Amino acid sequence: MRFLRKQVKTLNYMVQYLDPPLDLSFAALSDATRRGIIEQLGRGDASITSLAEKFQMTLTGMKKHVQVLERAGLVVTQKVGRVRTCKLGKRGLKAEAEWIEAHRKLFEARFEALDEIISEMKQEGSDD
């Protein structure tokens, strides 16, 4: 006798906001090593070898970090001979800074509204 299993599919109907460039940037910047690489490249171009030495990791490990930064457009590399040089991408972080600022303002407005409500509640409590 054979038993048939029903396949149950779960669907997520939640609307998701997708912005691939921002997603890639924030994912790339979520790692301390990659933020350190960005900081180091802000001081000047560097080879993958010198970055690997600076961060005390293998070349393979550093290449993987640099690839994540490249996919996000934060770093560009150029190979000349046997040396791959990294430098900051021209895109910068303008879109990310604008997103953060817009959400900072939103949080600030909500906290101000909450402060007003608390002040009103305190006044009502002292009137009794």
What is the predicted pLDDT for the residue at 14?
43
55 shares its domain with 24? yes
**How many domains are contained in the chain?**
2
Q: What does the DSSP 8-state code read for residue 24? A: H
- H or E stretch at 40: helix 32-43
Q: What is the pLDDT along the chain (128 residues), one digit of tens a residue?
A: 444 444 444 444 444 555 688 899 999 999 999 999 999 999 999 999 999 999 999 999 999 999 999 999 999 999 999 999 999 998 888 889 898 999 899 889 889 888 888 988 888 877 76
Residues whose CB falls within 8 Å of the CB of residue 39, separated by 6 or more in sequence, listed in order: none
52 shares its domain with 108? no
In-domain check, residue 6: no
| In contact, 65 and 31? CB cutoff 8 Å | yes
Q: How far apart are CA 62 and CA 34, in angstroms?
A: 9
63 shares its domain with 114? no
Domain that holds residue 126: 93-128
What is the predicted pLDDT for the residue at 95?
87
State the amino acid at position 93 in one-letter form.
Answer: L
How many CB atoms are located within 10 Å of the residue 125 CB?
A: 8
| In contact, 60 and 43? CB cutoff 8 Å | no
In-domain check, residue 4: no
In-domain check, residue 13: no
User: CA distances (Å), 71 to each of 45, 89, 125, in order?
Assistant: 18, 11, 56
82 shares its domain with 27? yes
In terms of Cα–Cα distance, which of 61, 60, 69 is closest to 30? Answer: 69
